[in-house]
Amino acid sequence: MCGRFVSARKRLELLEEFAATRDAVAADRQPDYNVAPTKRIYTVLDHKEERELRLVRWGLVPSWAKDTSVGSRMINARSETVAVKPSFRAAFAKRRCLIPASGFYEWKKNPDGKTKTPMYIRMKDAKPFAFAGLWETWHSPDGSELRSCTLITGEPNELIASIHDRMPAILDANDYRRWLDPKERDASDLMPLLKPYPAEKMEAFPVSRAVNNPSNEVPGCIEPLAGPDDPPLAAQKPAKPKKASARARKSEADTPSLFD
């Protein structure tokens, strides 16, 4: 499983945008236009009733895990089972977080049924937003700690449904406080916060296949392939794919989704 999103905002911008009063990052990081699993990513979590900006590893490692290898398989938690699944239920009850993002990628199947086109999805106003996430602390045999996280996925809105059958749970800014509050433990009160984000506030467009390689982290990853005056891809006919080698076709067909 593999997933990608964009983290392009600076630390101080995130502190202001998400009203975090504690800064556990201390130094700015380079923008990353192709965030992949196991990277350390910005999160906002509750620390003694204060919002704290912190770096944690993407890929949740439960406290009871024997080692950290399980984290690479736990980059997503399905909203339908997150409250009851053993890997996530404790974190869902007590350790919820915000995962700031500028946008995310999803791969849309082309008409040939074999190749896929990477799509960049963001807010129409280009403002940062927050995925609903969970975090955990894992203690290694040598006494060191690892903080890790996962992002929650659910049913898609109308825009994402034209690309994929799932999407990340994006929180409304008015719900940040409730989501972070460790006193909020009733699943029936929390689940409505994970509803599909309004499609009319989002847009999607095709980008270069360079994003398929996680080592490509540059701004060019989010440059649209269509012209600036063209409508969003969801309203266009997909472009005819270029002929690719057998090896390339296999690689693209195997590109997994962020939101499985």
pLDDT band, very low/low/confident/very high, at 254 (cuts 50, 70, 90)? very low
Half-sphere exposure of 246 (CA within 13 A, CB side): 0
Per residue in 103-116, pLDDT tens? 999 999 999 989 99
Alpha-carbon torsion (177, 179, 185, 187), positive or negative: positive
Per residue in 199-235, pLDDT tens? 999 999 999 999 999 999 999 999 998 644 434 433 3
Element (DSSP H or E) covering residue 16: helix 11-17
Can you give the length of the chain in residues?
260
pTM score, whole prediction: 0.86
Q: How far is the C-alpha of 25 from the C-alpha of 39, rounded, in Å?
A: 15
Give the domains, in start order, of the chain with CATH numbers. 5-253 (3.90.1680.10)
Are 226 and 233 contacting, i.e. CB atoms less than 8 angstroms apart?
yes
Spatial CB neighbours of 245, under 8 Å, sequence gap ≥ 6: none
Per residue in 91-149, pLDDT tens? 999 999 999 999 999 999 999 989 999 999 999 999 999 999 999 999 998 889 999 99
Residues designated catalytic = 2, 106
- In angstroms, the Cα distances linking 135 to 120, 180, 224 are 26, 11, 33
Per residue in 152-211, pLDDT tens? 999 999 999 999 999 999 999 999 999 999 998 899 999 999 999 999 999 999 999 999
pLDDT band, very low/low/confident/very high, at 260 (cuts 50, 70, 90)? low
